[in-house]
Amino acid sequence: MSATEIVSPTSDEKLMGALVHLFGPLVAMIVWGMQKDKSRFVKFQALQALIFDLVVVVGMGTFFFCLFGVMFLGMSMSMFSFMNTPPSDAQIAPFFFLPFMFPFMTFACILPSSFVLLIIRLLAAVSVLNGRNYRYPLIGKWLDGFLEN
């Protein structure tokens, strides 16, 4: 869909385009498979939502892998330090309780990012329901060039 191409989607196309942005990769794959030859608008929105969801899954997986690696390293180092030093009240508290704070810090990172992703999905769905061709910042331009070839 080039910028010069005028798209006037039907109400069914708008609804399917909004659903793929709201309900994740499985719905995006199903809708894309059913509509790839029927509607260029829905095809573009479904592929774009699918790529966005895959980028989010890979990014979150990488983030969790790194976060749990740091958590494991912190717990290991605190237990190693705790076992190799004579215990005193001043040393026990930080080394014992710090590793248990990692899950709470993880939640503090997940909650805001989940709200941001929800807002992005809602903006995309509302934009598509209004008949505008929504594009994610990097994905839309790349996918547009890919589909033209």
Cα(75)–Cα(100) distance, integer angstroms: 8
Cα(43)–Cα(35) distance, integer angstroms: 6
Residue spans of the chain under pLDDT 50: 1-4
Cα(73)–Cα(71) distance, integer angstroms: 5
Q: Distance between alpha carbon 96 and the CA centroid of its chain, in Å?
A: 33
pLDDT of residue 1: 47
DSSP state letter for 134:
-
pLDDT of residue 3: 44
pTM above threshold 0.85: no
pLDDT of residue 93: 57
